[in-house]
Structure formats: C-alpha cells, structure tokens
Amino acid sequence: MVNETDLRSHIRTIPDFPHKGIMFRDITTLLAHPDAFARAVDAMAGSFKGVEVTKVVGIESRGFIFASALAYKLKAGLVPVRKPKKLPAPALREEYTLEYGSDALEIHADAIARGERVLLVDDLLATGGTIGAACKLVERTGGIIAGIAFLIELDFLHGRDRLKNYAVQSVIHYQEE
C-alpha cells in the first residue's frame, strides 16, 4: 500500500512558476530520490493491476519519464505522443486549446494496432486539455483506452470531468492550489 502523504513529501512546491500565481508542483525532487521514484512507478502500475495492457503511451516530455518505467515494468511497448514535427513517420495530429492560444500533439499513425489495449500516462492532470487530445489520438489509431495513470492530480481544476469515459487513477491529489 502506497503512502500518498509520504510520496507527496518528496514533491517541491515552487510559487509563481512558470507564471505569477501558479504553485508549481516540482517532481524532480521525487525523481531524484531512488526509493520515492520506484514507489511512485509501482503505485501507478498497481492502480491497474490485472488490467491487460500491450502499449503504454507517454506524453512529451515529463510523461515519457513515468511511461517508460511503466512500460518496462509491465512488459508493454512504449508509444510517444509528441509535440508537432518531432515524429519522423506519418502521424495523426490533434489540436487543443490552452489558457492562451492553442497547441497540438501527434502520434505515429502505425504506432498502435486496432484493438490494442493502451495505458495513457502523464505526470500531472490539470484541466485535462493535453490528455484529452492524447485520448483522441489513441482512439483514432483504433486503440482501446484501458486506463489513464497520473502521478499528480490537481482536483480543484476538475480535469477528471473530461475523462468520464475512462478509468483514471492518480497517486497524489492536491485539493487546493
């Protein structure tokens, strides 16, 4: 059983990054601690124990960190979802809106076979725009979303409301800014 409070103690909060008024949850202090990092990965995997997964999808770039360790642990393949123009082969693209402006994500069109069971992974769930775009990309490849794993969820931003069709699990929750 993972102790959320203990893992949370390894996260450093940095005020006013990247913008004034944002309390940034810095996971690098958790990553740097061998035992905390391993327990975080194990907790993310443990939330989907018994769930069949053949591909783990990680979202650039902090999402790669947890997706990679999870793919290795679960003996699954790893599929990167990347910022535009980074993937060399034919790719699908989804645009999504940000607080100011818009951004886009891409996935290789041949990365996931129709009917494959996919675990999506990112470090943090905020308003859910990024993960929403990643879900659309996976479904356009024909993959089935078996679950979505986050290390951190900012409950007060209600990103989970966009993900009602999916099994969403987060290890650490922040109830308020």
Q: Which residues are catalytic?
A: 62, 99
Which of residues 87 and 146 has its CB atom nearest to a copy of itself in the complex? 87
Here the tokens at position 172 are: 């650490």
Min dist. Cβ of residue 162 to a copy of itself (A): 25
Distance CA 39, CA 45 (A): 10
Q: How many angstroms separate the Cα of 68 from the Cα of each of 77, 91, 101, 149?
A: 9, 21, 30, 13
Min dist. Cβ of residue 100 to a copy of itself (A): 16
Here the tokens at position 9 are: 């103690």
Min dist. Cβ of residue 115 to a copy of itself (A): 15
Binding-site member from 89, 99, 164, 165 for a copy of itself (CB under 8 A): 89
Q: Could you tell me the end-to-end alpha-carbon distance of the chain, in angstroms, rounded to an integer? A: 26
Is 28 an interacting residue with respect to a copy of itself (CB under 8 A)? yes
Instruction: Give the amino acid at 137.
Output: L
Residues 57-76 that bind a copy of itself (CB under 8 A): 58, 60-62, 64-66, 68-69, 71-73, 75-76
